[in-house]
Amino acid sequence: MVQLVRGFRGKLSDHMQTEQEIVIRMEVSGGGVYDVCCIGTDAQDKLTNERYVIFYHQTASPEEAVRSRVQGEATEFSVRPALLPSEIGRLRFAVCIEGSSTMGQIEAFDLTVCQNGTPLMKLHLNGSDFSRERAVIAAELYRKDEWRIGIPASGWEGGIRELFRSVGSELDTLDDIAAPAPVPVRELVPTPPPTPVPPYVPEQPSPAPQRPAKVELRKGQKVSLAKQESGSLGEILINLNWSQPERKGLLGLFSNAIDLDLECLYELTDGSKGAVQAIGRKFGSLQNRPYIALDGDDRSGASSEGENLRINGERIAQIQRILVYTSIYEGAVNWSEAKGIATVKCPGNPEIIVRLDEYHPSRKICAVALLENNGNGGFSVEKLVQYFESKPLMDQTYHWGLQWSYGKK
């Protein structure tokens, strides 16, 4: 991993795939109140469209090339440079402090650049690296024949107001970002009486629109599972199915079939955490803690039912979050041939389809989806499809904090 320092500049392509999603994670610790934001500017480094100020009230750019979300004490910005319009030439990632505190009083500031769940570049600073600044540009991505990264790590004592002045904007705070303009109301003017027409025969009313039977998620897209009239989600079924590549000739006689395991990490609302997986025969329980159970272990993927995780929706109040993942237990790492598909089924809701439609040639672990308690008696479901070299690395990325050891089925 590259250790970044103030003043660093370099090509992104030297360290990662620029056509894939890049995640920039920012975290400040200390006694102040901190806001982080991403500002998209044009070739002259001017803010010409406030829709490209990404922060807590405006979490995505118009085409969703930049999205933000809060992860614990940190904020993550997901960036897809290839989706950005040509008029956006620079993305500035800033930290601003409210009130009278300064960056010189912080305990620590960390900025990590990740791809596919793997940290690739990291910047670590503390209060001694600053003085009286109240707004700092920590990092920037910019076009110069290709996308590059720079680490200014400098700013202004005047705070966010001076930050906005540096990009030609008259904004004073993030809360000054304008809401979308209201739709204009047409002024009514008198019109002549209409010409008589034949009597109108009303058409039969159209039937009410039906909810779709299936919803296929894009990466990063999140949907919610709605409760039934009884007030419960019912039993939630998560199914994983995959294909086996066709083996021909003598080579096929000695090739192992691809064996994917459907597994999950869980966190209950009382803070207890664990895993449900075939390895170690940790099959869980539907009626007792953790209220999640694995049906069995399909070694071939040929079963029409695949592998299933079941969640007791009547115990939603006891479950905080579930990270659903899959791993290749046997066979070569060939996700593109496996063509894995996860399906989430919940009574009264459309089936949610999560395709493993991005691949990695060597990593055997894939985080498929994250289910989180939304506080209203339901779950949200987010597509992840992030690949990892090991389960401990995945655990670290999603902040589970489990202790791992080798096991077998």
Q: What is the mean pLDDT of residues 223-250?
A: 80
Residue 58: both structure tokens together? 């405006």
Task: Please indicate whether residue 207 or residue 159 has the higher confidence score (pLDDT).
Answer: 159
Residue owning tokens 């019912």: 234
Q: Which of 180-189, 220-229, 261-270 has the lowest mean pLDDT?
A: 180-189
Q: Which of 51-55, 94-98, 187-191, 241-245 has the lowest mean pLDDT?
A: 187-191
Nearest Cα neighbor of 386 from 408, 362, 358 is: 358
Contact 59, 69 (CB under 8 A): yes
Residue 200: what pLDDT?
59
Q: What CATH number has the domain spanning 214-397?
A: 2.60.60.30
In the chain, where the domains are located = 2-175, 214-397
Residue 251: what pLDDT?
47
User: Is the pLDDT assigned to residue 342 strictly greater than 80?
Assistant: yes
For 167-205, the DSSP string reads TT----SGGGSPPPPPPPPPPP---PPPPP-PPP-PPPP
User: Is the pLDDT assigned to residue 189 strictly greater than 70?
Assistant: no
Q: What is the mean pLDDT of residues 192-214?
A: 64
Contact 23, 113 (CB under 8 A): yes
What is the bridge-based pairing of β-strands 214-216 and 351-355?
A: parallel
Q: How far is CA 12 from the centre of its chain?
A: 21
Evaluate if pTM is beyond 0.75: no
Residue 152: both structure tokens together? 């200014």
Residue 196: what pLDDT?
66
Residue 203: what pLDDT?
65
User: Is the pLDDT assigned to residue 79 strictly greater than 80?
Assistant: yes
Residue 185: what pLDDT?
44
Question: What is d(CA 311, CA 291) in angstroms, rounded to the nearest whole number?
Answer: 6
Residue 103: what pLDDT?
92
Length of the chain: 409
Question: What is d(CA 160, CA 169) in angstroms, rounded to the nearest whole number?
Answer: 11
CA dihedral 330→332→333→339, nearest 10 degrees, is -80
Do the two domains 2-175 and 214-397 of this chain adopt the same fold?
A: yes
Q: What is the mean pLDDT of residues 344-368?
A: 91
Q: What is the mean pLDDT of residues 286-304?
A: 76
User: Is the pLDDT assigned to residue 59 strictly greater than 50?
Assistant: yes
What is the bridge-based pairing of β-strands 66-71 and 74-79?
A: antiparallel
The fold of 2-175 is: Lipoxygenase-1 (2.60.60)
Residue 162 parent element (H or E): helix 160-166
Contact 6, 129 (CB under 8 A): yes
Q: How far is CA 391 from the centre of its chain?
A: 18
Residue 354: what pLDDT?
95
Q: Which of 75-89, 241-255, 372-386 has the lowest mean pLDDT?
A: 241-255
Task: Please indicate whether residue 19 or residue 100 has the higher confidence score (pLDDT).
Answer: 19
pLDDT band (50, 70, 90) for residue 266: very high
pLDDT averaged over every residue in the chain:
86
Q: What is the mean pLDDT of residues 233-253?
A: 75
For 243-275, the DSSP string reads ------HHHHHTPPPPEEEEEEEEEETTS-EEE
Question: What is d(CA 296, CA 309) in angstroms, rounded to the nearest whole number?
Answer: 9
Residue 171: what pLDDT?
87
pLDDT-above-90 percentage for the chain = 62
pLDDT band (50, 70, 90) for residue 175: confident
Task: Please indicate whether residue 65 or residue 338 has the higher confidence score (pLDDT).
Answer: 65
